[in-house]
Amino acid sequence: MFNRILKKIIMKEMKNCIIISDSFNSDATGLVVKNLIQGITENQYYPNLITFPVKKLDDKINLITIPKNNTLSPNLSPKVDKLKMIIFKSLLDYSKGKNDLKMIKDWIASKVEIENTKFVLVISSGNVSVRLLRIGKKISETYNLPYIIHSTDPIPSPKPWGDKEIFRSALFSAIKPFYKMANLVGSSNTVMLEYQLSYMPTIKGKSFVLYNPVSQWQELEENRIERGTFLYLGSIYGKRDPSFLISQFLILIEKYNFVKLKFVGSDIDILKYNIPKHRIKNFEVISWTDNVEKYIASSEVLLDLNANIEKDVFLSSKLSKYLSYNRKILVMCAKESAPAILINDNPNIGVWKFQYNLDNFIDLSSEILNTNFSNWIYRKKLCFDFSAKNQTSHLIERIKKL
């Protein structure tokens, strides 16, 4: 009883917002959404979350879940071509969204302090749901609230990453009307925003950048470092190809026979890369762990492997995680890509940038191994600037000006 009363008091003191997302705490996008919601909460806003079913949820979040769509209609063959699937999914999203609205309106009436609610924010991944965009727009219209869309991925995916142009155009056509109607439209880095503007130049005046938040700074003991250990954390997918990294690392071993390359959280088959038997000991694959920090603490260099695509729009979530630790970082990326721009804009933070076709991997790795980096003041500042609270604070200030 006391907790319910206390919660009502807190809700009345805090400003409200409605957040709509296709993911929460279940994958890379979901973790970004969770961090952004945490930042919004730290800025004294009470989040009311509309999402698909979730397993775990913070008690500070007011939640309504809506059922997911079935991927295929019972009458639709699994072999149906992708273009028809995009069209079908958009129509299904539209009809489902219509059915959702009464349930959500009842929830808002009984659970949300709507008179103190300041905005509606839709946070989407690359698999953007027309259904959720429509719900966000309808709530915005019904209660006269600013309508904000933020995408953690580009929509549609750029050509090197995405499907054929006809598929990409179909997806873009489905979401374009909502982006035109939104009061503000966000991307997760400056390169991604430039790409988004190339598709939708009309959103330029209402666009913003909201970086994936960096976790709170953590100082790990230096004596836990295993000299020469390079760590890659997470899965390898899409256009990220480890072939070049492994081939270069074999050369690096000839110069420094104590170095070791670890893949943690990946199912990579290291044997298919033609590693000599006497060098297998310099590589290690750990497919799963519930103690990531243990491996970060024991590593000298944290590796961020990106695609060899100029002006690549993606900034990996693992880099955001790496930045919060006092460990050297090697970022492998292409010219004018999102990670390259971020590092250029933030020098002296203990991050080295290797650019494909421009830099020498062996020379750069040697420099990293022979540098005793210990001045973390600029990295700490970056963590503060890119914290969830500060990132969402900039967005909230922008919303207040609408």
Band (pLDDT 50/70/90 cuts) for residue 71 is very low
Question: Are 294 and 226 found together in one domain?
Answer: yes
Measured CA distances, 90 to 52, 95, 138, 402 (Å): 17, 9, 17, 30
Question: Are 243 and 192 found together in one domain?
Answer: no
Band (pLDDT 50/70/90 cuts) for residue 75 is very low
Question: Are 251 and 307 found together in one domain?
Answer: yes
Tell me: pLDDT of 109 over 50: yes
CATH at residue 40: 3.40.50.2000
DSSP 202-222: GGGGGEEE-PPPPPPPB---G
Indicate the range of 21-30, 201-210, 236-245 predicted with least confidence. 21-30
Mean pLDDT in residue range 53-82: 63
Question: Are 113 and 132 found together in one domain?
Answer: yes
Report the candidate in 268, 259, 265, 242 with the shortest Cα–Cα distance to residue 362: 259
Mean pLDDT in residue range 279-296: 97
Measured CA distances, 78 to 90, 261, 387 (Å): 17, 41, 43
Mean pLDDT in residue range 8-26: 79
Take residue 215 and report the two structure tokens written for it: 């976790």
DSSP 41-93: HHTTEEEEEEES--S---TTSEEEE-PPPPSS-TTS-TT--HHHHHHHHHHHH
pLDDT at 267: 92
pLDDT at 4: 56
Take residue 61 and report the two structure tokens written for it: 């979040």
pLDDT at 77: 42
Band (pLDDT 50/70/90 cuts) for residue 72 is very low
pLDDT at 83: 52
Take residue 307 and report the two structure tokens written for it: 């695609």
Question: Are 234 and 116 found together in one domain?
Answer: no
Tell me: pLDDT of 79 over 90: no
Question: Are 284 and 392 found together in one domain?
Answer: no
Q: How many residues does the chain have?
A: 402
Domain limits for position 326: 222-384
Question: Are 380 and 394 found together in one domain?
Answer: no
Tell me: pLDDT of 20 over 90: yes
Question: Are 256 and 380 found together in one domain?
Answer: yes
Supply the DSSP symbol for 325: B
pLDDT at 68: 76
Mean pLDDT in residue range 154-163: 84
pLDDT at 8: 56
Tell me: pLDDT of 2 over 50: no
Measured CA distances, 398 to 3, 38, 253, 313, 386 (Å): 34, 18, 51, 24, 17
Band (pLDDT 50/70/90 cuts) for residue 52 is confident
- Please list the residues that pair with 117 across neighbouring strands: 16
Tell me: pLDDT of 87 over 90: no
Report the domain count for the chain.
2
Indicate the range of 41-45, 119-123, 130-134 predicted with least confidence. 130-134
Mean pLDDT in residue range 142-146: 97
Preceding amide of 242 cis, omega within 30: no
Contact 34, 55 (CB under 8 A): no
Tell me: pLDDT of 86 over 60: no
Question: Are 393 and 260 found together in one domain?
Answer: no
Q: E strand or H helix at 333, and its extent?
A: strand 328-333
The model carries a pTM of 0.90
Question: Are 284 and 147 found together in one domain?
Answer: no
Mean pLDDT in residue range 112-132: 89
Report the candidate in 15, 103, 45, 18 with the shortest Cα–Cα distance to residue 389: 45
pLDDT averaged over the chain?
Answer: 89
pLDDT at 90: 55
Report the candidate in 133, 129, 153, 212 with the shortest Cα–Cα distance to residue 383: 212
Question: Are 242 and 302 found together in one domain?
Answer: yes
The interaxial angle of helices 388-400 and 28-42, nearest 10 deg, is 70
Indicate the range of 97-106, 151-160, 270-279, 321-330 predicted with least confidence. 97-106
In this predicted model, what pLDDT tens digit does every residue of 244-261 receive, in sequence order? 999 999 999 999 999 999
Band (pLDDT 50/70/90 cuts) for residue 241 is very high
Question: Are 37 and 171 found together in one domain?
Answer: yes
For residue 48, the one-letter residue type is: N
Contact 376, 326 (CB under 8 A): yes
Mean pLDDT in residue range 12-20: 86
Residue 265: strand, helix, or coil: coil
Q: E strand or H helix at 97, and its extent?
A: helix 82-111
Mean pLDDT in residue range 100-112: 89
